[in-house]
Amino acid sequence: MAATWSGAEQANFQAVLDAFARKTGATVKYTSGGNDLPVLLNSRIAGGSPPDVALISQPGVVAEFVKRGAIKPLTGDAAAAIKENYSSAWQELGTVNGQLYGVYFKVANKSVIWYRVDSFTDAGVQPPKTWDELKTVSAALADSGVTPMVAAGGDGWVLTDWFENTYLRVAGPEMYDKLAKHEIPWTDPSVVKTLTLLADYWRTPRFLAGSPTQTAFTQAIADVFGKSPKGAMLFEGDFVASEINKLGELKVGESAKFFNWPSVDGSKPAVVTAGDQAVAFKDTPEANALMAFLASPEAAKIMAAKGGFISANSGLDLATYRDDTTRELAEAVVKAESLRFDLSDLTPQTFGGGTSAHLWVLLQDFLAKPIAPEALAQQIEAAAKKDFGGN
């Protein structure tokens, strides 16, 4: 078994593997590949000794392994467990070319905005439900003397998540899919509208704290929920909760809460997600048994009870989660009508998947400079033509 996890996550997952071992009598050896897991897997495949099962966070990497015939389609108990315990939306995310290959064991809800309750109370505002309300609330916070938002623009992936959440609500899931595959150009009016909305918010005086392009993700959390707050709100996923807890200043669910990403022009609730997908490199009884176990509520329950984990498994009793905040975040992921994977993770690495990726850098430029949305769209499209191979 191979995955990216180390430290506490590895220890928590080991409890799942130990339960599988007790249940089946199997012996499971876990290897952590860290951020270089795809490199490790490619090396193992080249050497003829891939792991039986791996948890991979990039769907593009999974699709490449499928293309090479390196991973095996799921059948039998594993496929049955996935169909029983996962919604059609999640089954679709584990499917490549019409064939089921993976199960998302750990997932993220990347469609929430966290806020300080005291800042909202002092300004006399409630969590917004629409984009216009977000702007109204932000203006009221600014008038009360509190900077509304800390944007972690120092990490380009945060800005891609800003774009993805807004775009999913502006254009809808079908257009989102087409953009992820570059089946429509980045100069499409739906992209320009999304960039216009972002520019309007980011460039409104008093809305963003400090120097956003110099603010890293972890620093942004401290700037909102630490000892010397610089702002009232922060956008990022469910994993922000554990970082707030580490700071020890505010209590998640009481003095630090979240609201769902606001709707745009009456858009339906939607969730941008990410996650670790289990796939099998060997078609053996052992591999199939482990895949079936990872797709079971039993395995999800072990991790959920330890905290810092959200499951898309609809068979998991939500009461297993240790607090109401995690429970609410998980429920949104399980029941989402409109669910889409992080768009930048679906694109070529040079376009959306790293520190120097074109989309990361161009959105950072857009945050820092008064670039026109139409001009930025043209720049992104030029990069996409190169990175997607000219299609």
Mean pLDDT for back-to-back runs of 10 residues, the chain (391 residues): 93 97 96 90 96 93 93 97 94 94 96 98 98 98 98 95 98 96 97 98 97 96 97 96 93 97 94 95 97 98 93 95 94 86 89 88 98 98 92 51
Report the chain's terminal Cα–Cα distance, integer Å.
37
Instruction: Tell me 261's DSSP state.
Output: P
CA atoms within 13 A on the CB side of 266: 0
- pTM above threshold 0.85: yes
Distance (Å, rounded) from C-alpha 1 to C-alpha 69?
A: 19
pLDDT on residue 336: 80
The CA-based angle 156-158-164, given to 5 degrees, is 105
Q: What is the pLDDT of residue 13?
A: 96
From the number of C-beta atoms within 10 Å of its C-beta (0-12, 13-18, 19+), residue 49 rates as: exposed
Give the number of other CB atoms < 10 A from CB of residue 39: 11
Query: Residue holding tokens 């593997």?
Result: 17
Give the burial class of 215: count Cβ atoms within 10 A of its Cβ; 0-12 exposed, 13-18 middle, 19 or more buried: buried
Closest CA to 156 of 370, 356, 325: 356
- What pLDDT, on the 0 to 100 scale, is given for residue 58? 86
Cα-based distances in Å from 175 to 74, 104, 121, 167, 348: 29, 23, 38, 9, 18
Cα within 13 Å of Cα(369), Cβ side: 10
To the nearest 10 degrees (0 to 180), the angle between helices 131-143 and 189-202 is: 10
- The reported pLDDT for the residue numbered 122 is 98
Structure confidence at residue 390 (pLDDT): 64
CB-based contact 199:373 (threshold 8 Å): yes
d(CA 378, CA 86): 39
pLDDT at residue number 310 = 96
**Which residue type does 341 have?**
F
